Amino acid sequence: MTQQALLERALGEYEISTVFHLAAQTVVGVANRSPVGTFETNIAGTWSLLEACRRSPLIDSIVVASSDKAYGDQLSLPYTEETPLQGRHPYDVSKSCTDLITTTYAHTYQLPVAITRCGNFFGGGDLNWNRLVPGVIRDVRRGRSPVIRSDGSCIRDYLYVEDGAEAYMLLAERLRLDLQLRGRAYNISADHVMSARAFAERLVEAMGESFPLDIRGTASGEIREQRLDSSRARQELAWRPEFDLDTAIARTIDWYDRHFAIDASRDVSGVLQRRRA
């Protein structure tokens, strides 16, 4: 949403005090095909929201979700919060800009805002089937080889969504109590670092199947390797991931199995209703 007046109205009428800016166009392939739409959503959307927050006197805590993509390709890994922001591809650039705009509002206008930089989220609730985890799970449950659109070799830092949500909540609470955190950025990582191929294979194994991966190698504009140093979050926020990788994967698969079961039940119900009609 980039309509600043509407944002200001919503913040005021609902007496909002804490804001989590999570809205974005998040798909790298879409960003590469439609950069202007991505820039409008991710960059203009950020300044519209922050300007609305600046004009809303009840706001006392804002967390902006940047991304490890904001760092772009780097020779030295893992990324620390001092690593330069140098996105090159459209999605990465949009997150670099999001990060810098947020810093501007913190330092110029003393807005109570801090930044999270997370890796690749996974977990229940993601219905974008072009993404690795939901796509692999759906393919396997449909009895077919899971499609990997990249060549499978890109290294990513995977983060279970419930661990990420806990980090966001913790940062918002701490920011409300300590304005010294204003403008600070925090890498959030559970150290689940591996290639897309390795993660997909781990998902297939956890589902008790043995399908070979269908590696397409059609994705472009991808950063080759990413990993985050989350020492600052662990020291300053006392944040720790709650779930080990096996548990997180099991919980994720369970969510999708329940989702597919509900969908199947609805399909059967719909057929029965049409027959009765």
Annotated catalytic residues are 91
Amino acid at 136: V
Helices 90-109 + 45-54 axis angle, to 10: 20
Distance CA 188, CA 229 (A): 8
Say if CB 185 and CB 81 are below 8 A apart: yes
Question: Residue 10, CB half-sphere, CA atoms under 13 Å: how many?
Answer: 13
Distance between alpha carbon 131 and the CA centroid of its chain, in Å?
A: 11
Instruction: Name the helix (H) or strand (E) containing 95.
Output: helix 90-109
Say if CB 141 and CB 257 are below 8 A apart: yes
Residues with Cβ within 8 Å of 211's Cβ and at least 6 positions away in sequence, in order, are: 139, 140, 144, 145, 146, 204
